[in-house]
Amino acid sequence: MWHGVVTASKEHKYLGFAYGGAAIISIYFARGGFLAFMLILMVGTAIGFGSYIKIREANKARPMKEKIAFYNRVFTCMNFRASDTSIPDFLYETEVSDHTTIVSFDALIPVNKWLERKEELEMYFDAKISDIRQDEEDNRVIDIYVQTKPLPEYLEWSDEFVAENNVLNIGVSDTGVVGMNLEAYPHAFIAGETGSGKSNILKCLIYQALVKEYDVILIDFKRGVSFSAFGDDVSIHYDYPDVIQVLKDMVAETTSRLDKFRSRRVDNIADYNRVAGDYLHRKIIFIDELAELLKTRDKETANILNDSIETLTRLSRAVGIHLIMGIQRPDSTIISGQIKNNVSYRVCGRFVDREPSRIMLSCDMASGLPNVKGRFIVKDDDLCEVQSFYFTNKSVMLPLEQGHLDVVDEEIYSEPDVEAMSGMGDDVMQNLPKEKPTDSAPFEFDFSEFRK
């Protein structure tokens, strides 16, 4: 009766008015059979609605009870308990993306203990666990990131992935779109073997930078072949004298911007643009093969290049000048420790050898990646597996006032072989014709799937 009158009336206001009206009519016409008829009608309606609501609530509660019972069985079988012999209590589930649901537990068990038994938990859950973390708001709550479906093996770029702020998006992880925030991480390394999709990520980032009206500079000793679609929109440099001058100019621009910031008493480009009359554009320098650039036999040239890049990674963080550097195979003997220390954002593709992964990520995680084109590990504050966007010129078009992209046919993630070209030697590379490159253009809980 209570559910049929009070709860039902709260959910459906018209029902409350009907009950009230029927009661008033009954009192006004309180005569024998009519009053009895109205009372029977009201009681019958209340019982009907009350039964419906009770059944609905029971159906809603049943999956929760079954989940609680399931997890209790799992932790009991695993003998996974806190010091007071209590097992973790299931709290709730949160769907964070199409690929992941967070299952949260209340437990006085340190997160490292959960991580030690991650593989065992995956067997009981019959699902891949991408991460286990302590909840940011409550240290007693443990969040388990359960993969509800695997990452796609192909993900075409679309303009819907262009972020509104100073973020350049790279791909999709289990928890959603992953990108590089230029304000938090001004410089980046992107490492990957030939054919891994490294140059494809650079193309996605260049396109987004142009859409955001950043100034884009490309240094590529492959003569911009992989980026010919941006020929009219990007300044491409591929010989040592030209590259040295460009980097020197960027160092001078960094110094000039710092002087401007001091005169305006600001410490970053966003604040300067708010208070100054002259608007400063962000500048992004893309280097498609950093090791190839620094591998010159000329010591003076190598020193100038290394010093310029070190200065930029150290000083240009706040002034809006960024370096995004592609590396085919990380080499600690070529790239200085100061450059690596000042570039905290890392994107690393699969390497059979563990050493490149250790150099980029300080762990072996990239060596365990599946052999999927465009699959990378992204390192910022955490490490996550990402399927990068595949950039196709057929799906995008720059605004007319910025330039254009011609349609070209491309092999997926195709990249020229830098190692083969590097065998030509520095002298041959520098004497190549310098003509400008031409344009081209909810976790559904299915108990039948869970078995010990």
Q: What is the pLDDT of residues 206-251, one digit of tens each?
A: 999 999 999 999 998 877 777 878 877 888 898 899 999 999 999 9
The one-letter amino acid code at 410 reads E
Phi/psi for 318 (5° steps) reads: -90, -15
Helix (H) or strand (E) holding 357: helix 354-361
Phi-psi region of 265 (alpha: psi -120 to 50; beta: other; left: phi over 0): left
* Antiparallel, parallel or unpaired: β 167-173 and 283-287: unpaired
Strand pairing class (383-388; 167-173): antiparallel
Question: Residue 353: what pLDDT?
Answer: 85
Domains and CATH numbers, the chain: 2-75 (no CATH), 80-147 (3.30.70), 159-430 (3.40.50.300)
CA–CA gap between residue 337 and residue 355 (Å, rounded): 16
Mean pLDDT of 416-439: 42
Residue 212, phi then psi, degrees to nearest 5: -80, 0
Q: Are 74 and 66 in contact (CB under 8 A)?
A: no
**What pLDDT shows up at residue 74?**
92
428 has pLDDT over 60:
no
Identify the helix (H) or strand (E) that includes residue 376. strand 375-379
The answer to whether 347 and 191 are in contact (CB under 8 A) is yes
Q: What is the pLDDT averaged over residues 421-430?
A: 43
Q: What is the pLDDT of residue 98?
A: 84
Mean pLDDT to the nearest integer, 148-160:
90
What mean pLDDT, rounded, does the chain reach? 80
Kindly tell me if the per-residue pLDDT of 411 is higher than 80: no
In the chain, helix, strand, coil percent, each to 5?
45, 20, 40
Q: Are strands 176-181 and 167-173 parallel, antiparallel or unpaired?
A: antiparallel
Helix or strand run (H / E) with residue 219:
strand 215-219
Interval 107-133: pLDDT, tens: 889 999 999 999 999 999 888 898 899
